[in-house]
Amino acid sequence: MNIEKTFARMLKAKAKGVDVSVVTDYENAKEIIKYALAMPDTYIIDVEIGDALWKGYADPYTVSLCADGGLYCEPSVHEDGGIGRGAGLYLIDVIAIGEYLPSDFVLDDPSTKIKLIGGE
């Protein structure tokens, strides 16, 4: 996954007033968070992220940037096996989601759009 291209897409969506989320692995998620925190209008809503060896979690993370600058990150797959879902623009790293389907991460809402990324 190209981090710079992905973050540029996030900023473009944010500028249009759209909430945007990226579903990706730990390494990519932490880089996206670094970029987002460098933006002057970013504020942290909630960030839960940790290395798989330390946290015991190796599934994808969802990093979301709200149109107003709010940032949050959480494991995409919850401890009970449920998947966190949302609406808005979803950039889904096809390599990081493994056997999950892209549609597993989004709500069935007409405003939701999925763009597949990764494999670059």
Contact 10, 24 (CB under 8 A): no
Contact 38, 65 (CB under 8 A): no
- Tens of pLDDT, residues 5-15: 999 999 999 99
Record the pTM.
0.92
Contact 22, 91 (CB under 8 A): yes
- Tens of pLDDT, residues 57-85: 989 999 999 999 999 999 999 988 889 88
CA-to-CA distance for 78 and 101, rounded, in angstroms?
Answer: 16
Q: Where are the domains of the chain?
A: 3-117
- Tens of pLDDT, residues 97-114: 989 999 999 988 888 999
- Tens of pLDDT, residues 15-36: 999 999 999 999 999 999 999 9
